[in-house]
Structure 1
C-alpha cells in the first residue's frame, strides 16, 4: 500500500498515472473480442493516456509491479516476467514483503537486466522518473 502512496504523490499533476489491479492487454489490439489474454498486475504505471479504456489498459504499461506471495511466486518470477519482457514493459519490479526487498529489472535491447535489489535501508532511485527516489524504510517500515 505504501508503494502506491509514493507513486501517487510523485505522479500527481503529471501525465503518467499509477493504476492498481486493472486488467491489462499487453498488445495494442483495440477490438476486445479479439483479445485472448489479459494480465492483472498488482500495480502499473502508464504514461500514454490513450491506453486507458474504461476500466482496462490496452497496450503495454511503462512499469509493472508485482507483490510476491506464496501462491503467485512462480507466476510473478517466471511467467509474468517473460510476458512483460516480451511485451516491452520498460521496468518490472518484484516486491517481496517477506524479505522486505524489491528487485528492479530494466529492459535493455529487449531483455530484462537486473538493475538492483533494494532492501529496507536503501534508497531506490526510480530510473524512468528523474528526481524520484523511494526510501525503502518508508515502504517496509
Structure 2
C-alpha cells in the first residue's frame, strides 16, 4: 500500500500496489507517499530492502570518511535517502525521467547536477552496501544502471563477508572487471583523487 495524491480532490488516498503493467515517471514518484523506501527503475517501482544495524554502521563510517576528506573541497558526499535521477541523455522534464535511485552513499563533484530535489545525472562515485535481502537481480540491475548513466566509480560493499568490489568506468563507457578488497586492504578512489580507506576501518564499527 502507498499514498497517492489526487490533484482533482486535493487530497491523498491509499492505493494498492502500483500496476506492474504501467510505466511511472519521476513526476508520479513525487506525488506518492510510501510506507517504505522505494526506487524507480526504468519506470517500475522497486521496494528497497530495509537496512539492518551492520549496514547502517558501515554506511555511517564510510560517510564520515568521505565527509572528512572532502571538507573544503568542491566534491560533496551524500547519504541515503537522497534521490539521484538518471535521465536518458539531457532530459530534465520530470515526466520524462523514469529512473530515480537512492544510493547508500554518493559523491558529486559537479555542483550543476545538484538541486533541492537531489542530484540530476550521474554522481562521480556511488557506494551500495549489501543487506541480507538484496537479490542478484537487484545487484545486476544497479550495475547496469550506473554503467549506462556514466558513474565513474561504483563500490559494492559486503558487511557480512567484510569485503568490497570496485568497478571503474573505462574510456569505452564500460566497467572493467571488479577490483576486490578484503581484510586490511586500502581501497583507493579514482573518481575522488587522493581518497583511500582501509577495509578494517569500514568493518570494525
TM-score, scaled relative to structure 2: 0.65
Q: In structure 2, what is the Cα distance between the partners aligned to 1:76 and 1:46?
A: 23
State the partner residue of 2:110.
48
State the partner residue of 1:7.
66
SS for the counterpart of 2:184 is: coil
User: Could you tell which deviates more after superposition, 21-30 or 78-87?
Assistant: 21-30
Q: What runs of 5+ residues in structure 2 fail to find an aligned partner?
A: 1-59
Q: In structure 1, what is the Cα distance between the partners aligned to 2:122 and 2:190?
A: 18
Q: Offset of 1:72 from its aligned partner? A: 2.3
- Residue 25 of structure 1, aligned match among 77, 85, 88: 85
Q: In structure 2, what is the Cα distance between the partners aligned to 1:35 and 1:102?
A: 31
Q: In structure 2, what is the Cα distance between the partners aligned to 1:62 and 1:114?
A: 18
How do 1:85-124 residues align onto structure 2 when only pairs under 5 Å count?
A: 85-108=147-170, 109-124=172-187
Cα pair 1:68 1:76 within 8 Å, conserved? no
The structure-2 alpha-carbon separation of the partners of 1:18 and 1:75, relative to structure 1 and needing over 3 Å to count, comes to farther
Cα pair 1:88 1:107 within 8 Å, conserved? yes
Residues matched between the structures, number: 141
Task: Verify: 1:128 aligned to 2:191, yes or no.
Answer: yes
User: Could you tell which deviates more after superposition, 117-126 or 79-88?
Assistant: 117-126
SS for the counterpart of 1:112 is: coil
Q: What runs of 5+ residues in structure 1 fail to find an aligned partner?
A: none
SS for the counterpart of 2:168 is: strand
SS for the counterpart of 2:139 is: helix
Task: Verify: 1:67 aligned to 2:129, yes or no.
Answer: yes
SS for the counterpart of 2:176 is: strand
The structure-2 alpha-carbon separation of the partners of 1:43 and 1:75, relative to structure 1 and needing over 3 Å to count, comes to farther
Q: Offset of 1:75 from its aligned partner? A: 4.8
